[in-house]
Structure 1
Amino acid sequence: MSIDKTVGSAAEAVADIPNGASLAVGGFGLCGNPMVLIQALLELGSDDLSIVSNNCGVDDWGLGVLLAARRIRKMTSSYVGENKEFERQFLTGELEVELTPQGTLAEKLRAGGSGVAAFFTQTGVGTQVAEGGLPRRYDRSGGVAIASPPKEVRSFDVNGTAKEFVLEESITTDFSLVHALKGDRHGNLVFAKSARNFSPLAAMAGRICIAQVEQLVEPGEIEPDAVHLPGVYVTRVIEVGSDVEKRIERRTVQKEVA
């Protein structure tokens, strides 16, 4: 029996994402953002969303378009410094934010997609990441309405030395949205260079993974060793073409040498 996971449009691909859904979204800065799917979700109108992604884009691109439309209730991220509207919503109590160290966030997604409930890491030991008290949501008067809870810290022997580790729970979400360079009808995906970033991990964490691909090929055309994410993790595939807009967050060029 042939397995064909392709759908005809981005609107069809995201049509069942309801209000209040949780999503893991690939991308790093503006690199690898699944913009066609994000725009389709914006047009769908789903709100009260809880989103896990390395960052929230910028004011007019990436996840920033959902934020500007007040569709996001909570962001779980590791970097939020390029979005002024993000800052405003957080400081005025409109947005809940769970800041997570970048490597820890990556592992929480990978662990969730691998069926691992939690893991211990040294990252965050001795800080508010472990001790709790980090503001997650402010009230309108500037006080802390929701603070991060303390986490379990345990000592383990590492090469004869006792070291402390903090327990981090894994992340799973209702849906995940990712952008890939190439995919086949079975959902096997290949990502381009740094656009690989968080995308495979985000894809793994979603119970329903929706992938937009620049090039759709037939099963067998992607060499098995070239597959970055096996199709077992992917539920739907939509082809968007190679001419999709790809913005650069910060452009730095070398001055011309005479």
Structure 2
Amino acid sequence: MKNLPIDITTFVGIIIALGAIIGGQVLEGGHVSTLMQLTAFIIVIGGTMGAVLIQYSLPVFLLGLKLVSWAFVPPRVVLEEVIEQITGWGNTARRGGLLSLEPILVEMQDPFMKKGLQMLVDGAEPEKLREALEVEMDAYDEHYRLSAKVWESAGGYSPTIGIIGAVMGLIHVMENLSDPSKLGAGIAVAFVATIYGVGSANLFFLPLSSKIKSVIGREMVKRQMVVDGLVSIANGENPRLIDTKLRGFIT
């Protein structure tokens, strides 16, 4: 699928979130460098990714990483164009029969739409057509939503991993009570690890999962429109009625 322009809201959200935290730190008289603790970062992010890998298989995890790009450049899904396309198929089929749709298959790039149109041209029964396409829809939905949940799970683990990092920092502090010069660094790691854990969950992981799910949901709406449209064409319904029916998905 072609891509839409960059989703500016993702970038704006990240800038506002980080700006609020860093700005608050500066307004309180703190130093930005205080929040930059490599040890805490490794503990929280490394521990979180490890926990997620334990929960999910490698293919699901890798797809979850790939889907991050959807939060910035989502797949192009314009429902109005889909309606016009399906209505056009209906008009073509009404004038020349289902076989007149065959030339359209050559230029079709969307695999789901191409499969459905091919079944329609081949004369599949309307209910068999719906059944086959809805099985594929369900498989798509389950597979991609599971990968989106990778980030939802990360959002659940990271605050706890942050607490682990905080406890580790405090243990380090307790081990060096006799050396005051090491107390500051240990306490910093302890509290920054908590910030990293809670912050990464609520500012990145959970919002990222929700945005990916919204993209998947829009694709599912498009696919349901395609199924209903193709079944309507197979049943010989008037293209105007098909158009009216499909526009209900948008409203």
TM-score bracket, normalised by the shorter chain, equals under 0.3
TM-score, normalised relative to structure 1: 0.21
Which structure has more helix as a fraction of its residues? 2
Which structure has more strand as a fraction of its residues? 1
Higher Cα Rg, which structure:
2
TM-score, normalised relative to structure 2: 0.22
